[in-house]
Structure formats: structure tokens, C-alpha cells
Amino acid sequence: GQRPATEAVVALSVESVIAGGQPIQVGYDARFVREGGRWLYAGVAWNELASTHFLLKYDGNNHDAAWAQRTLDLAEEVYAQVTADLGVTSLLPQEIKVYDDGELFRTSASLSLPDWTTGWTESGASIKIQLLDDSERTLQRAIAHELTHQVLFAQGLSSPLAGGIDGGLAWLHEGVANFEAGRVIPLGAHWAAGQYSPLVQAAVRHQDEFPLYSMPPWEDVPDDQVGLFYAQSWSVVSFIVEQHGLPGLRRFIAQSIVSQAGTETRPIDDTAANLHAALGVDPESFLAEWQEYARVAGVPDDLVSLARRFPPERALAHVAILSSPEFSGREAGAPGADLTAAYIAEQFASLGLLPLGGPLTGTAWLGSSSSGVITNLQFPGGPLTRTETGGLDYLQQFPISYTHLISVPTLTLLDADGTGLHEFTYRQDFLESAGEGITEGELVWVHAEDLEGMHFGGAVVLERDVGDPVARAVQLQDHGAGGLIVATDKESRNFQVGHVRPITGSEITIPVFEITGTAFEMLLERLGMEYRDLSFAPPAFPLGVQMQQTLVRSPVTATPTANVLGLLPGSDPDLADEVLIVGAHYDHVGQSPDGLYFPGANQNASGVGVLLETVRVWQSAGYRPARSVLFAAWGAEELDSAGVAHYLAHPAVPLTQTVGVIALDSVGNGRGYRLLFYGTREDLPLVHRVEAGTAELNRRAQRRISTGEGWQTLFSSTGIPTVKFIWDEAERDFYMPTDTADHIDPDRLAFSGEILTLISSWLARQ
């Protein structure tokens, strides 16, 4: 009594061959329906979900309904953008088919498509998207590209595929589609520029570009020129919009449609005439101006001039102040860091930045949510002041575990009766490396890795080359050692260095010192021994003398320190909720009880000085960014980037609205000859702007692949593009007392300031 099935899903395997090509095999689930006693093929078995303007078809084996809903949400965002930009009020609902399998995609679209193609559509047909990865950015750009083609078809701009007269408008189709794809994601124009600008720039410089007034139809574009065709089309459309705005682009498209309809017998390309009719431009000068725009990769002239106003002497003045003894090395948790934070906050206030440090709950002026995160960054009516608290609150406070040396460590050699034989000199002969405590015990030479069966009964262990001294100290203290002295090959100058403190109380309860090679030789001399005597000694060999070590720290306490956060609100209501972060850490490694202090001029008072003067250049020139820019002076970077980690857990603006991060670290000098910038392909929009910008400033910078070090990588790991500037080989002088303001090179500081001013204003502008 069962009714016969009327529908079936069958796993199909299909082989396709283009004449002369290799066969392509695809497997997929196909739907069959039973009609009139026969099974009929009904296409791919899709799952479906609809929204206002789209019907999404996708493979339910690979994606769930939540994914489909999210994809439709992205598509609706794209729809709003593209139709508004192109002035379209109604468009028939669009079908989007998403392919996970590239071969099935090409079988359904065109077998000749390259495998990196993300989308395909034809007039009135569905939008076909190939998913190359999980990136929402890529998906959204692909939908925008194909939807733009459909909007242009609907407006009457004919198919870029058709040969003959209409084919000549392929460049306009692709140019607008690529331009719109760049408009739908944050910093999208900069992403697109990173992808396309270098190609066009190289072509124009070698006069290899397609002739602008006779762009070829698609079928005449050689395979190896497809990338340039896309790139040049994007560049010309971007240039039109930069010069004439979106209304200009709409007029040019409308004019192209009119001329296309009226010129059935003319060989197409009326681009020159259309530009003149729609925009009133002289085609010759338009061509020359576009070529110049492409040649400089779009770097805006006015921003180059703005960047050249950067005052290195003012930045250097900040460096001199912050590296002076009054700031005592700016150690997080110590008064010098608090003084520095107050100095920066005062600067931010004088620059008119909005204080974003304090708790935001209950403030009305930003429409903040109860969670303390700003949900809406639109600032009607210009700069706002915080009235609820009455004061300016730039400091975002957070606790750190703080401890410091309270006396100069000592190391004393005693004879068996406890009479002093020799006093070693701190930093000259030895330096603390871990742990704490006061100990006095028999000195025992140990040269066995395996401590099985040994117990030191409070003796002080002397060893060479222990690898990781922390791990070794833990092992030795478990075997009863009262202290550890590691004999190194280092020289005294290696001990003129500021220590980066452990973040939490260490598990080491004994004092651990390193001694120089010279101090070790002196010790052996005192003992009347030579090194080879020790080599032949038993694994644990008492040396017949006593050693006393003192290493006294304050108790570890939870101590407040702070990030200093100031916002320059964006002027464009559509872009103000996109935030660029420009950041530099202000803390350093403080001072030592022996009176030595670490000025940290290059590391990183230089970054702070450059950051402050960049804001001042903007203010004095009346430059107001379209996007919002958060200037962040981070605290406690030397403690494993504690300040940035705190910020990421308590962001002043949502991370989803944070579009890029520029990091400055030691930008005033280095032993090398170049300013370096770190970034990967994931950082393309920033990296490309740096490359284009340095060329226009007639400077040289070199890109390095990110090593995963530095506070900015914490932002990278949330998917936010970053770029970090540091002078080549600056690290050779890190944490040295010689890192003083008079070692900063004003010209190098100027370069850092100019490139920061240029790229931050560029990224914040469009």
C-alpha cells in the first residue's frame, strides 16, 4: 500500500571535456523527479533559504542553516550598498548558488575559468559563487562583484561576454564590479588597492597598460593579461570616483548605456566621448591624469604634503622629556610610568582627543551599552566632552603583579670559616637572572645533568652553561640547593642591561646569578685551580669555600598601571564607526637600585613622540579623518604585552569595528639602514599603503614577514590587519643605559613620522 516515490536524490559522477582539453570529473548529489512514469533530471540537489532580495542555494551537506542565514545577511548588506551606489531602486530577486567544489562550479559556469575565480554570472542568470575558503570577506566581495554585474545588466549595460560591439564595455562592467567589491568590506578600497595597484603601476611605468580608449572585449584579453585587465578597470573606475564622486560614476555609466544603444553599427569604444559627455573632461588630460594616479599607486598629493609637515624636532622633544631621569625608565607599576601616562593624557587633552580610558557605563554621549563598549561611533556635532565624570579620563587602568629589587644584589666569596675573601661587583662581575633570597653556603661545582641521588643541603651550586637557567634552578632547589651561580662567557657590557621582570611571582625560591667569564676566571684563581681541574672533578665537587648571595625583592603586589586612550572621531557619518588604531607602548624597564636607569629613548619614547606629533600635524593643518582614529599609548608592554591584552579583553571600541592597527616600536634609530615594516598577506591594505607611501616620500623601507612577535600580533590573531614599524637592528640597543635621546637620529625620526602621518591619514580618509 505504499505510494511510489516521486522524487529521488542520486549521487552522480559526470565527466566533461572541452575539445582538445583534459576531461574533468565531478561528483554531486542530483535530484530526479518522476513524471509520467519516467525519472527526469532536475539539477543539483540544493538546500534553499530566501531573504528579501535573494534566494540562496547551497549544499546542506557542507553548511548548516545558520551559515546560510549569515550568508544572506551579508548579501543583503551588499545589496544595500551596491544599489545605493549605482542608483538602482528595484531589482528582481537574485538567485545565489554557492559551490564548495571548484570543478562543479566550472562545469556549471564555464569550463575555461581559472580555478581562483570566486564568481560568475550572466545577464538574468543566477549568481554563482565558488567558496575558496572560510573568509567572509572573500565571500562578501564575490557577491558584491557578481551582484554589480546584475545591476549593470538591469540598467542596460550589456553583457561583457557578448562579442562584437557590446564586448568593448567589458572593462566598465569589471571595473565597477571590482570597485563595488572593494566598497563592501572595511578598508575595502585599501584591500582592492593592495591587490590591483601594483599591477597597474608596473604596467603604466613600462607603458604596457591597455590603451584606455580602446579597451579590448573579454575574448581579446590574453590569458596572462587577465589580472591586469581587472586591475586597470578597477583603477580607472576608482579614479573616476575620486575625481567626480559616485554621481560622476553614475553619469558615466548612464552615458555609456546611451551611447551603446545608439551606436549599433559603430565599433565600440566611445569611452573618450562618454567621459567628455558625462563628466565634461578633456579625454587627453583625463588619460594623463589617470596615468599619473596609477604611476604613484594612488598616493594622494595633499597627504604627501601633509606628511612633510611632520616636525621631528617636536617629536624629539617628547623623547628627551620621557627619557629624562625624572621619568626613571617608565617601569610599569613604578611612579615613572604613572608620570608618563599623565604626560601623554595631558598631551591628548591639549590635542582635543576624546578620552576613552575610563569606564563608559552610563555615559550618554556615545550611545554606549551597559557593557561599557561603544556600540555606535557616530558623533553628530563634532567633538564631544565627557560631562558625567567632570574630568578627562584617558587612562584605562588595570592591575599588574609588581615587584622590584630593594637593594643592590651582592655576591661574596668567603673562606671555610666565613671570613670574606672577595666581593664581586654588581653588573661588572654578575647580574641576577631569576629568583630571590639571601643565602650562604658551601660552594659546590656541579657538572652533571642528572641530579639523581644528590642532595645539596643548602650549598650554593656553581655550574657552566645550564641552558634554561629557570628550569635548572627549579630542579636544583628541589635537590636542596640554596643558590645557583651560572658561569657564562659573557662580558661585563652584557650586564649593563635592564631586566624585563617576570610577570608573576616566580616559582624559583633561591637566588640565581650569572657571572662573567672574567669573574669565573678570577674565582678559579682565588681557589688556586684551573678549569681543567674542574673538568676531571666528580659530578658534585665541594670547593672548600663559602659563597654568600643576596637578592632581595619587594613582595609581589597587585599594582595599577594604565593604557592611555584618546579618540579622534571620524567626520563621515558612514565611516566614523570604523576605527583605525595607532599605537605605541610607553613603558620601559625602569631603574636599578645601583642607580643605573634605562632611559628607553628609542624603545619606545620614540614611538610615543611620533604618535603625538602626528595628531598635532593633523590638528594644525585642519585635517579631519573620515574614519575614527584611536591613539593608544599602551602600558606594561614589557610585561608580556599586558596592556594590550587588557585592552583586547576590554576594548574601548568593539573589535568588529576596528579596521586596522599601526604599531610603532623603536622608530628613532637602529644600527641598520632601513625602516622595517612587518606584515603578511593578511595585512595587505596597510602594507601596500606603506610601500606606495614610502616611494612617494622618496624614502626606503623594507617589508619583513611578521615573526609573531610584538603586541600588534595580539590584534592580528583576531583577524584585524596590522603593520608594525621598527628601525632595522634597533633591538641591538634594547634595554641599555645608552638608549638616550642624543642617540636618536632626527632624520630617521622624521621618516617614521612622515610615513605614519601619510598612511594613517590615507587609511582614515577613504
| Dihedral sign, Cα of residue 339, residue 638, residue 729, residue 740 | positive
State the nearest-atom distance from the C-beta of 100 to Zn ion, in Å.
21
Our CB check for Zn ion shows the closer of 177 and 701 to be 177
Our CB check for Zn ion shows the closer of 174 and 209 to be 174
Our CB check for Zn ion shows the closer of 150 and 712 to be 150
Our CB check for Zn ion shows the closer of 174 and 331 to be 174
Q: How many residues bind Zn ion (CB under 5 A)?
A: 2
State the nearest-atom distance from the C-beta of 83 to Zn ion, in Å.
17
Q: Is the peptide bond before 602 cis (omega within 30 degrees of 0)?
A: no
State the nearest-atom distance from the C-beta of 62 to Zn ion, in Å.
25
Angle at the Cα of 228 from the Cα atoms of 223 and 233, rounded to 5 degrees: 120
Our CB check for Zn ion shows the closer of 177 and 636 to be 177
Distance CA 78, CA 144 (A): 6
Strands 395-402, 579-585: pairing is unpaired
Distance CA 585, CA 355 (A): 17
State the nearest-atom distance from the C-beta of 647 to Zn ion, in Å.
40
Task: Render 697-765 in DSSP notation, one character per residue.
Answer: TT--EEEE---S-STHHHHHTTT--EEEEEETTGGGGTT-TT--GGGS-HHHHHHHHHHHHHHHHHHHH
State the nearest-atom distance from the C-beta of 183 to Zn ion, in Å.
15
- Give the amino acid at 413: L
Query: Measuring CA to CA, how many Å separate 712 from each of 388, 632, 707, 716?
Result: 33, 12, 11, 6
Our CB check for Zn ion shows the closer of 177 and 400 to be 177
Our CB check for Zn ion shows the closer of 177 and 431 to be 177
Our CB check for Zn ion shows the closer of 174 and 613 to be 174
Our CB check for Zn ion shows the closer of 152 and 567 to be 152
Binding piece for Zn ion, criterion CB under 5 A, among 14-22, 46-54, 177-185, 609-617: 177-185
Grid cell in block for residue 682: 593578511
State the nearest-atom distance from the C-beta of 278 to Zn ion, in Å.
22
Our CB check for Zn ion shows the closer of 128 and 472 to be 128
State the nearest-atom distance from the C-beta of 164 to Zn ion, in Å.
19
Our CB check for Zn ion shows the closer of 177 and 608 to be 177
State the nearest-atom distance from the C-beta of 660 to Zn ion, in Å.
27
Strands 483-487, 420-424: pairing is unpaired
Distance CA 738, CA 493 (A): 11
Cα dihedral 457, 461, 465, 470 in deg (nearest 10): 60
State the nearest-atom distance from the C-beta of 145 to Zn ion, in Å.
6
Q: Is residue 177 near Zn ion by the rule CB under 5 A?
A: yes
Our CB check for Zn ion shows the closer of 151 and 576 to be 151
State the nearest-atom distance from the C-beta of 293 to Zn ion, in Å.
22
Under DSSP, the state recorded for 605 is I
| Dihedral sign, Cα of residue 252, residue 253, residue 256, residue 262 | negative
Per the CB < 8 A criterion, the answer to whether 118 and 130 are in contact is: yes
Angle at the Cα of 699 from the Cα atoms of 681 and 622, rounded to 5 degrees: 90
- Short-list 384, 382, 383, CA closest to 365: 384
State the nearest-atom distance from the C-beta of 237 to Zn ion, in Å.
12
- Residue numbers 146-175 binding Zn ion by CB under 5 A: 174
Block residue for cell numbers 621618516: 751
Our CB check for Zn ion shows the closer of 177 and 750 to be 177
Per the CB < 8 A criterion, the answer to whether 545 and 596 are in contact is: no
Query: Measuring CA to CA, how many Å separate 510 from each of 386, 425, 470, 543?
Result: 50, 20, 11, 20
- Short-list 760, 701, 719, 720, CA closest to 582: 760
In terms of C-beta density within 10 A (0-12 exposed, 13-18 middle, 19 or more buried), how is residue 454 classed? Answer: middle
State the nearest-atom distance from the C-beta of 199 to Zn ion, in Å.
16
State the nearest-atom distance from the C-beta of 272 to Zn ion, in Å.
23
Secondary structure string (H, E, C) spanning 626-672? CCEEEEEEECCCCCCCHHHHHHHHCCCCCHHHEEEEEEECCCCCCCC
Distance CA 348, CA 632 (A): 10
- 3-class DSSP assignment, residue 515: strand
Our CB check for Zn ion shows the closer of 240 and 584 to be 240
Distance CA 576, CA 765 (A): 10
State the nearest-atom distance from the C-beta of 758 to Zn ion, in Å.
32
In the complex, residue closest to Zn ion by CB? 177
Binding piece for Zn ion, criterion CB under 5 A, among 164-172, 176-184, 413-421, 450-458: 176-184
- 3-class DSSP assignment, residue 444: strand
Residues of this chain that interact with Zn ion (CB under 5 A) are: 174, 177
